[in-house]
Structure 1
């Protein structure tokens, strides 16, 4: 195992260090589906996640009024009410305790026929994301995490998905901008957060290669299905697992890797998959946190250039 680098940043709040950035594992799925058709599946996936990490690992929710509240019986009732809305939902859950960034859940359910979004040139996409601390991966092992991911994926009609090391951030703050920039330039295997931007523009495109990359229609069809994809990937340790006739999971090795450009570790197996997926890779337009357009482009092409 190549241990993930420990990347943490704190901000001083009234004399106390306040965690604003940590190394984590992100599990994300993108679904070109109406919120109303998948909300019950998302609720089931959330329960699968909670059983795996502990039913009390999530204990706060974003009230959507600029504050967080306790996930007690009333709080979970509010989550269920949001999931039951007919057109869209926006849900953010997190842990509390000593590390609010350790565990987390985000769901952005969209209406694909939103006329306002289309008039702005947006391509709405529903998305769901689960967070694990890297300590969970190290303690439980990659097979346990992979089994959890497959159980989550089973009930979600995704078009694509990705699982790998990622920065968990408390927004783009002055105290974490420099650590993110430095680590992103050095460790290509650590993903950047940005689900809000992605769900307005991603559509059926692919975000990019990760430790576990999930592919469905239409990209997998254009690659010739699981067999066609398998024929294009020759790097030792890379496997393609067919999930059903229209979906597949690519595993890039036993453990997720950060890579280290300073040490010459460019993650060749990630680069091979990136070249295969290049015609369908997402290219971001517009602002993304505190990154400049040049930084965004460099990061997006980190496995291609």
Structure 2
């Protein structure tokens, strides 16, 4: 474990003689939710993907999942042309780009383009950019923060967040069973679920994170960025005003996992959660391995 978060390495169950394959690890996610129709934002999302690809090591996204069959194929020039065509021509589609499809390395891009009516209350389209913690350790947390801001500038987001998460294949059932104990111990490690969250988060806030991108629906009732800033007193917390009535709340210099067994309950996260409680996205269905009480504890880990 480094100072700010644990190393999480959970391996897949394998047959005798097969090599070990990593199933779950700690990582970073930069995620945005957009209350716009897919066709209105497809080009914005593709520009953001290009920003991500230019920022990380060349060729890191080597594979793509075919959006209808789920089969993996090379993300070469032909694969990119196919995926970009699907993104630009379909009324809704999904996208999953990865460095390695059989084991999480930390590098992934996921997009959930949902088909919904413009007046739908809670449905959004979501995009998530994943990074390994080792890259942050090499380049520094400020580099991650700047990348998150660059990605945000390309997207008409309603809300967004960046910070630590468990990294695993979200579309495969059963993985959350293996992370239950870690999730209930380390409150700053998010459990991502872009498919479900994008279809139901609406204008609400998906938990509290190291970086919190807030839109007018949340900021205006609080009196804008200045009103929010006046409610936050933890040293190291900053509120940066962004364009179009948005703001970025940063909770310290590094993302933190906390550790409830050691009494580290992340006071800055708890303070922001109390302020944002009326807008928090709560009431999810139970994940595999989580009881109803586990879900309540996890969702309210910064509130109770």
Please indicate the TM-score interval, normalised by the length of the shorter structure.
Answer: over 0.9
Correspondence for 2:89: 85
Q: Write the mapping of 1:47-62 to structure 2, written as runs, cut at 5 A.
A: 47-62=50-65
Residue deviations 1:49-88 (CA, integer Å, cap 9, x gap): 0001123010101113132111011110111012113421
Correspondence for 2:238: 239
Q: Which residue of the other structure, out of 99, 109, 115, is the alignment partner of 1:111?
A: 115
Counterpart Cα distance in 2 of 1:130 and 1:57: 13
Displacement after TM superposition at 1:178 (Å) = 4.9
Counterpart Cα distance in 1 of 2:293 and 2:79: 42
User: Which structure 1 residue ranges, 5 or more long, are not aligned?
Assistant: none
Residue deviations 1:12-70 (CA, integer Å, cap 9, x gap): 44421111101000100011011111111100000000001123010101113132111
Correspondence for 1:10: 11
Correspondence for 1:139: 138
Counterpart Cα distance in 2 of 1:73 and 1:245: 36
Correspondence for 1:198: 197
Q: TM-score, normalised by structure 1?
A: 0.92
CA RMSD of aligned residues (A): 2.0
Displacement after TM superposition at 1:195 (Å) = 1.1
Q: Write the mapping of 1:1-305 to structure 2, written as runs, cut at 5 A.
A: 2-14=3-15, 15-63=18-66, 64-96=68-100, 100-113=104-117, 123-171=122-170, 176-305=175-304
Displacement after TM superposition at 1:269 (Å) = 0.6
Tell me, yes or no, if the aligned pair for 1:112 and 1:123 is still in contact at 8 Å: no
Aligned pair in 2 of structure 1 residues 97, 31: CA closer, same or farther (>3 Å)? closer
Q: TM-score, normalised by structure 2?
A: 0.93
Tell me, yes or no, if the aligned pair for 1:32 and 1:112 is still in contact at 8 Å: no
Displacement after TM superposition at 1:289 (Å) = 4.2
Paired residue secondary structure (1:244): coil
Displacement after TM superposition at 1:111 (Å) = 3.4
Counterpart Cα distance in 2 of 1:289 and 1:179: 9
User: Which structure 2 residue ranges, 5 or more long, are not aligned?
Assistant: none
Counterpart Cα distance in 2 of 1:193 and 1:76: 25
**How many residue pairs end up in the alignment?**
299
Counterpart Cα distance in 1 of 2:202 and 2:101: 36
Tell me, yes or no, if the aligned pair for 1:208 and 1:277 is still in contact at 8 Å: no
